[in-house]
Structure 1
Amino acid sequence: MTTNLIFDLDDTLLDFTASELHGLQRVFVQYGIPYTDETQRTYQQINTHLWNELARGHVTREQIFARRFATFLDAIGRDPAPAHDMEAAYRVELNHGYDRVPGAKTLLIDLHQHGFRILAGTNGLATTQHQRLQHSHLGPLFDGVFISQEIGFDKPSHQFFDAIFAAEPQATRQNTIMIGDGLNSDIRGGINYGLRTVWVNLHGQQNTTPLHPTREVHSLPELDQILVQSA
């Protein structure tokens, strides 16, 4: 019987992609960089690579923030000197990215009504994530919020999940499901910790990893249905 749900936030319940693109556009304009499909794609490839390296334990979060705009500027043939200021401006933009994935609030309300204990387990900066939860009006729907910066460890590390289970004594590996969009963070972390996992694949991505989530869903209503059935 499932009683505890650990939700990733970005691109699972909060539409981080929309917030990211809006923020990038404003920062690019501020620093005189054309916002085109090519520049957007170049940045996203660099950023995705660095976050995957974090999941593998090869870089730290601080190194990502220090490198991504410098690497991007170098890739498009620009002076990397403004990279630090661009990162700071981008962080401000993300702090104001409150877009919800359609149906997120309805999902959490329904799961509460079915008696689930709902936890957020997210990588990222504490200030950013707390502000986004507050202004998206999803914060009060969580029974606990666990952010990697506050824990001191990122998903997919065992230590990240150790912190959650230490704070949630009713949670066991048998009654808890890890839910998220990140194969290398959410799903890898959940599998390695012995949890059932649900991959929230809202954009129809192909799974090219050796990981096998317990379930895969393509919409939040579909997720709601299978979670209620697991109760």
Structure 2
Amino acid sequence: MQRLALFDLDNTLIDRQLAFSAWAAEFAGERRLGGEAAHWLTTADRQGATPRDQFFLAVRERFALAEPVEELWASYRARMPALVRCDPKVLDGLSQLRASGWRVGIVSNGMADNQLAKIERSGLGARVDACCVSGDVGMRKPDVRIFELAAARCGLALADGGWMIGDNPEHDIAGGRAAGLRTMWVGGQDRRPGGGWRADRTVVDAAAAIGLLLDGAPGAPLR
């Protein structure tokens, strides 16, 4: 199996929940929405599962805001990249992977402006070979074609295998397996992805996933 590692972005390479909590507190404070508003926003977000148009429609109605949904959403996309952080251990690990001969890509669902800005502002852009963001390429995980495109942008063929690492059971684990990739689920050793999907490995975070890749020979079982 070739040395190809594809990573999800939100809550895999970056802590999207931490950034969202910061945004929610800032948003509520600027608009003086009250002490419970940030909690409501975080709950309504459902860890990013609520589609953004539906989320901001609910926000507008809940707090009787004058701004159109499109304006609220655009402001959010412009602000979030400044709030995301990538653990220095992850950045260093990605550099080590590439120095060891791995090709590294990011495969993410989301709006192109938001996701690509997160990648650049967090320092990830300089540490990967390629990025595929659904809003930019016109296809979304778990569509096999987005994995094929990511591999091609890394200069490799998906047919020769590799790894997909992510936190979403359907998009990352089921999608990766359908694409012929081995998979790592970022979710903690005491949990397993639901929906009947089984990952080849379960890790607590991206740094641990990178460590396994660095320790294991491609194509052989990892310790």
* TM-score clears 0.5: yes
| Counterpart position of 2:96 | 110
Distance between the aligned counterparts of 2:161 and 2:77, measured in 1? 36
C-alpha contact 1:133 1:139 (8 A) present in aligned 2: yes
C-alpha contact 2:147 2:158 (8 A) present in aligned 1: no
Once the two structures are superposed, residues 42-92 of structure 1 have per-residue CA deviations (whole angstroms, 9 ceiling, x without a partner) of 3223842x3xxxxxxxxxxxxx33211222455xx5436546143232222
Superposed displacement of residue 203, structure 1: 9.0
RMSD value, Cα: 2.5
| Counterpart position of 2:44 | 43
Distance between the aligned counterparts of 1:150 and 1:38, measured in 2? 31
Superposed displacement of residue 170, structure 1: 2.4
Distance between the aligned counterparts of 1:33 and 1:69, measured in 2? 15
C-alpha contact 1:190 1:196 (8 A) present in aligned 2: yes
Distance between the aligned counterparts of 1:2 and 1:166, measured in 2? 13
| Counterpart position of 2:86 | 100
| Aligned CA distance change for structure 1 residues 130 and 13 (closer, same or farther; 3 Å) | same
Question: Which of 53, 60, 67 is the aligned partner of 1:66?
Answer: 53
Point out the more displaced range, 95-104 or 139-148. Answer: 95-104
C-alpha contact 1:5 1:118 (8 A) present in aligned 2: yes
| Counterpart position of 2:64 | 79
| Aligned CA distance change for structure 1 residues 162 and 117 (closer, same or farther; 3 Å) | closer
Distance between the aligned counterparts of 1:131 and 1:47, measured in 2? 17
| Aligned CA distance change for structure 1 residues 41 and 172 (closer, same or farther; 3 Å) | closer
Point out the more displaced range, 192-201 or 38-47. Answer: 38-47
User: What residue identity is the alignment partner of 1:223?
Assistant: A
Distance between the aligned counterparts of 2:96 and 2:153, measured in 1? 24
User: What residue identity is the alignment partner of 1:17?
Assistant: Q
Amino-acid identity (%): 24
Q: Which runs of 5+ in 1 are unaligned?
A: 51-63
Q: Which runs of 5+ in 2 are unaligned?
A: 219-223
| Aligned CA distance change for structure 1 residues 137 and 168 (closer, same or farther; 3 Å) | closer
Q: Does 1:124 align with 2:124?
A: no
| Counterpart position of 2:129 | 143
C-alpha contact 1:178 1:197 (8 A) present in aligned 2: yes
Distance between the aligned counterparts of 2:131 and 2:123, measured in 1? 14
Distance between the aligned counterparts of 1:221 and 1:92, measured in 2? 27
| Aligned CA distance change for structure 1 residues 155 and 13 (closer, same or farther; 3 Å) | same
Q: Paired residues, what number? A: 215
| Aligned CA distance change for structure 1 residues 103 and 35 (closer, same or farther; 3 Å) | farther
Q: Does 1:194 align with 2:200?
A: no
Question: Which of 176, 179, 190 is the aligned partner of 2:165?
Answer: 179
Q: TM-score, normalised by structure 1?
A: 0.81
Question: Which of 209, 217, 220 is the aligned partner of 1:230?
Answer: 217
